[in-house]
């Protein structure tokens, strides 16, 4: 049912208007720009909470639907809708952005000195709000072309956040990392554009959506599900690979991950978290919605390959994290491992696996934000990212060390903290179809314990190293950032039901649409090296 009030348009348009107002402020109104940006982000959060309260988990698959003609000649429409999976990712996004603006309150001073000139603050805040807006519309878009436009458009503000606002970094290093980020993702987007055009050509040829074809996601999915998408399996496989390649770059999936560590280290901690915890989730969300639902047969065909790549990413990211000497780069490599778990759960194609993958997207965003931001606070005080330069921090900054420890334990999926539930669901859901893959993935639990606890031991315990004696603990602004993240990790660790109540019906709808069902009890798991039975 189409909604009367444009709830979803308001959701993404509010941060765009907020960014415009921030940019319109006089250059000298730096504090006003920060406060206004934070106020807009908090207002968007409040609005999203109202959406969540009004959302009916047992209702229609897509709610708050808005549908308007956009480009009639191409069958493209401005069509928005919200399901349970998109809703929890929307809530993650709008909850993190205010915290990131608050965490980066003085990032501009580190960039430009104690008294930044011009509109550095205005630009920084506006770019953050623009990224938020583009991510939000990507989650709620129900038109394939509309999704693609904003999937690509979000790269522009993110590029400038990485290349222009890397705190304490040399300009050349920031520029290289930003260009690498942009080129990788643009190339993936170009491959996806070819697939988007391919879908449109098929809809025109088969009269789907009328003589002008259709980009409507629901229309194309219905055609694919009913067998009316008249393309050969080879063509559909190629189109699937076009979408999957773009999402695998964004996520990122091994071996398309190499841009992530450089970009995470070059950006400010707040921008790095925005990229890893928010922007990159559009990639895994795209796999779950577009790859599986538009190309169900191709998804099943390539599932063993994707599962294998996800396993490599899980183990590879964890092993490389162990060998890092840079604390920020170490955390970036842990994200590669975690994204492997998310993708593993998606392509296990079981209710537990996909529910766990979606919950993992939320929990990874929270735990990565907590760990990366606390590390960023510490690095900004000490002026170095090298693990060897720290030591004894818990003696001079016990609250900071405690927050770092809890966030680290969440990263290694300790029972009682949020990521454990999602990782457990992913492993259980994977084991029922790919037994060997699930067994191999569990090895990352041991590796995670190694890199997290060893990092904590070297940085926080022991005697206070020279240069660390003047480190100070978290200030009230930083506590206001870290405390909600720690509370969320604890709460979702013991009570994930609020998130799963939204996610489970959407996952059931996805599996029903693609014609998949959970294996019957007692069915042997697939345990061959490739992950599939003969």
pLDDT tens digits, 167-176? 545 566 778 8
CB-based contact 370:485 (threshold 8 Å): yes
Name the helix (H) or strand (E) containing 76: strand 76-82
Per-residue pLDDT at 226: 77
Only one residue has tokens 């070297």, namely 458
d(CA 332, CA 335): 5
Name the helix (H) or strand (E) containing 72: none
Per-residue pLDDT at 91: 96
Per-residue pLDDT at 168: 46
- DSSP, collapsed to helix, strand or coil, labels residue 263 as helix
Distance between first and last Cα of the chain: 43
Q: What is the pTM of this model?
A: 0.91
| Ranges of each domain in the chain | 299-534
Per-residue pLDDT at 76: 85
And the tokens for 234? 């080879």
Question: In 3D, which of 218, 200, 193 has the Cα closest to residue 142?
Answer: 218
And the tokens for 402? 């405690």
And the tokens for 503? 């996610």
d(CA 66, CA 447): 46
User: Which of the residues in the chain have pLDDT under 70?
Assistant: 1-3, 107-118, 166-172, 211, 520-534
Per-residue pLDDT at 477: 92
Per-residue pLDDT at 22: 92
Per-residue pLDDT at 532: 43
CB-based contact 103:376 (threshold 8 Å): yes
Question: In 3D, which of 423, 403, 428 has the Cα closest to residue 412?
Answer: 423
Per-residue pLDDT at 282: 93
Q: Rounded to a whole number, what is the largest CA-CA distance in the chain?
A: 74
CB-based contact 120:100 (threshold 8 Å): no
Distances (CA, A) of 329 to 178, 283, 332, 376: 16, 21, 5, 12
DSSP E strands in 374-525: the ranges are: none
Q: If you count them, how many residues does the chain have? A: 534
Only one residue has tokens 């002008």, namely 212
The count of other CB atoms within 10 Å of the CB of residue 301 is 15
d(CA 54, CA 29): 38
d(CA 156, CA 179): 11
């Amino acid at each position: 049912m189409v909604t009367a009030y444009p709830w979803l348009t308001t959701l993404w348009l509010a941060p765009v208007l907020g960014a415009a107002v921030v940019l319109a402020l006089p250059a000298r109104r730096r504090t006003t720009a920060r406060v206004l940006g934070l106020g807009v982000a908090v207002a968007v959060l409040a609005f999203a909470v109202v959406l969540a309260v009004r959302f009916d988990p047992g209702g229609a698959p897509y709610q708050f639907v808005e549908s308007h003609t956009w480009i009639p000649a191409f069958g493209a429409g401005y069509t928005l809708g919200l399901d349970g999976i998109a809703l929890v990712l929307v809530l993650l996004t709008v909850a993190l952005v205010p915290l990131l603006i608050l965490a980066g309150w003085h990032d501009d001073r580190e960039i430009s000195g104690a008294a930044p000139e011009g509109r550095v603050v205005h630009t920084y805040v506006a770019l953050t709000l623009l990224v938020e807006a583009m991510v939000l519309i990507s989650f709620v878009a129900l038109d394939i072309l509309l999704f693609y436009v904003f999937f690509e458009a979000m790269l522009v503000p993110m590029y400038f956040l990485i290349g222009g606002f890397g705190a304490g970094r040399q300009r050349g290093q920031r520029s290289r990392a930003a260009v690498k980020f942009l080129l990788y993702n643009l190339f993936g987007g170009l491959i996806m554009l070819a697939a988007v055009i391919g879908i449109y050509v098929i809809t025109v040829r088969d009269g789907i959506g009328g003589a002008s074809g259709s980009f409507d996601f629901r229309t194309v999915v219905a055609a694919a599900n009913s067998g009316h998408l008249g393309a050969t399996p080879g063509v559909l496989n190629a189109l699937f690979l076009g979408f999957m390649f773009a999402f695998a770059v964004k996520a990122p999936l091994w071996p398309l991950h190499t841009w992530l560590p450089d970009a995470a280290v070059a950006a400010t901690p707040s921008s790095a978290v925005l990229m890893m915890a928010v922007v990159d989730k559009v990639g895994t969300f795209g796999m779950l919605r577009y790859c599986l639902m538009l190309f169900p047969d191709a998804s099943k065909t390539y599932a063993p390959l994707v599962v294998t790549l996800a396993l490599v990413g899980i183990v590879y990211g964890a092993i490389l994290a162990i060998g890092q000497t840079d604390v920020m780069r170490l955390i970036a490599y842990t994200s590669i491992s975690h994204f492997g778990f998310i993708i593993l759960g998606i392509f296990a194609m079981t209710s537990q696996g996909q529910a766990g993958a979606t919950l993992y997207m939320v929990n990874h965003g929270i735990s990565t934000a907590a760990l990366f931001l606390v590390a960023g606070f510490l690095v900004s005080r000490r002026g170095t990212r090298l693990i060897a330069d720290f030591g004894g921090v818990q003696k001079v900054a016990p609250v900071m060390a405690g927050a770092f420890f809890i966030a680290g334990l969440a990263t290694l999926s300790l029972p009682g903290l949020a990521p454990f539930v999602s990782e457990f669901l992913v492993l259980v859901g994977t084991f029922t179809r790919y037994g060997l893959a699930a067994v191999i993935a569990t090895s990352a639990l041991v590796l995670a314990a190694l890199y997290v606890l060893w990092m904590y031991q070297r940085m926080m315990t022991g005697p206070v190293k020279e240069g660390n004696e003047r480190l100070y603990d978290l200030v009230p602004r930083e506590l206001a950032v870290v405390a909600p993240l720690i509370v969320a990790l604890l709460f979702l660790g013991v009570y994930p039901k609020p998130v799963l109540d939204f996610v489970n019906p959407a996952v059931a709808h996805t599996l029903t649409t693609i014609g998949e069902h959970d294996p019957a009890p007692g069915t042997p798991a697939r345990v061959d090296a490739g992950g599939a039975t003969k």
